[in-house]
Amino acid sequence: MGQGGEPRRVQSYDGELGAAVARAQQGDEAAFAVAYRLVQPGLLGYVRGLVGDDAEDVASDAWLEISRDLGRFKGDGAGFRGWSATIARHRALDHLRRQKVRPRSSALEQDVLDLPGPHSTHDQALESISTEYALELVRGLPRDQAEAVLLRVVVGLDGPAAARVLGKRPGAVRTAAYRGLKRLARRLGGESAGEGVTDDGPRTLGEST
């Protein structure tokens, strides 16, 4: 089910995660700890990409809400990752509003017209995305691209799930993730990824707005 380059390493634990969430909903605290251990690294990376050094505090607030509302959750392991990412996103945006930090804005760049082969771009970005340096680079992307990349690569959501978290159409999120990964790969030294331009990247500029 890993279409669109969703990391297999994330998907591999969805069965374990779903089982842990189901037990946690029955009051099993050890199972909740398992769910936390499986989800927290990706969730923290996502939040760090949004709020930087305040990520630990924001993620803690998100987990308080997740534990409080766990009984209302319905779904499997992948669904839980999306649900927890939605809660974390709301907490992060609340934090940014309190800090009066305005989202970065960036004009569309010409690189949209020069799409590389998807595998080279994704592989280069995936290799380095977990490092602090890469997260800093992601934070420098336009907001829609940064969030799409973080949700797809760090949290490991598929396209439709990421779109639900962001309240956008899947095509818009796919476009934003593609542009973000291309820009990130270039910043990580991936200029050679320009070989093999393909048509599978959407070219509709208006979709990401």
Query: Who's near 199: CB < 8 A, 6+ residues apart?
Result: none
- Please, which residues have CB within 8 angstroms of residue 35's CB and are 6 or more apart in sequence? 17, 20, 21, 24, 80
CA dist list (Å): 201 to 61, 68, 104: 36, 40, 24
Entry pTM:
0.70
Please name the amino acid found at residue 174. Answer: R
The per-residue pLDDT string of the chain (209 residues; one tens digit each, 9 = 90 and over) reads 444 444 555 556 788 999 999 999 999 999 999 999 999 999 999 999 889 889 999 999 999 999 999 999 999 999 999 999 999 999 999 998 888 755 543 333 333 333 333 444 554 555 545 556 777 888 888 889 999 999 988 888 999 999 999 999 999 999 999 999 888 888 777 544 443 333 334 333 333 33
Q: Are 196 and 116 in contact (CB under 8 A)?
A: yes
CA angle, 149 then 150 then 154, to 5°? 115
CA distance 144 to 135: 15
